């Protein structure tokens, strides 16, 4: 897997999960326009503007029998073709032509996503229990519009432009 992949799905909801796919979205410093979080004290805000997840991790979880799909665990952006292990705090990425983000931290799963897991085991994607298989939060460094199919490229720490 490489340091370049693509956006597989963009996902929004009016609060809560699942999030539903859309073809394109404007990315602002507070997240995807048209998307809301059910609990803004825990989700969202500048340091958690976007939640990203790997299409390959989702596929592996499906192969284990989990009824997960893009957006069902609340991620805004599902990406594919990347070495997911490179999506670490401090790494910077360009989505499409303009949007730049910095990964801030792995997410901590909660019971609201239990329907995506066999037996309700939402901790199956807990970063402490299954390193490299969790969703990640990101801050937005440069706003813009992204579309399904757009590239996702690693910029490196402190990179930009």
Residue 55 pLDDT > 80:
yes
| d(C-alpha 72, C-alpha 19), whole Å | 6
pTM higher than 0.95 for the full model? Answer: no
Residue 87 pLDDT > 70:
yes
Question: Average pLDDT, stretch 110-122?
Answer: 95
The DSSP secondary-structure symbol of 157 reads T
Contact 9, 69 (CB under 8 A): no
């Amino acid at each position: 897997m490489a340091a370049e992949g693509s956006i597989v799905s963009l996902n929004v909801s009016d609060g809560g999960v699942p999030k539903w796919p859309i073809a394109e979205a404007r990315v602002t410093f507070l997240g995807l326009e048209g998307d809301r979080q059910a609990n803004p004290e825990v989700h969202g805000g500048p340091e958690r503007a976007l939640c990203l997840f790997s299409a390959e991790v989702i596929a592996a979880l499906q192969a284990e029998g989990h009824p997960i799909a893009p957006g069902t665990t609340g991620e805004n952006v599902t990406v594919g073709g990347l070495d997911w292990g490179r999506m670490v705090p401090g790494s910077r990425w360009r989505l499409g032509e303009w949007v730049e983000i910095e990964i801030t931290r792995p997410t901590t799963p909660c019971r609201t996503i239990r329907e995506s897991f066999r037996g309700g085991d939402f901790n199956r994607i807990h970063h402490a229990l299954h390193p490299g298989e969790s969703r990640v939060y990101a801050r937005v460094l440069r706003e813009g519009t992204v579309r399904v199919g757009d590239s996702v490229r690693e910029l490196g720490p402190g990179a930009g432009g």
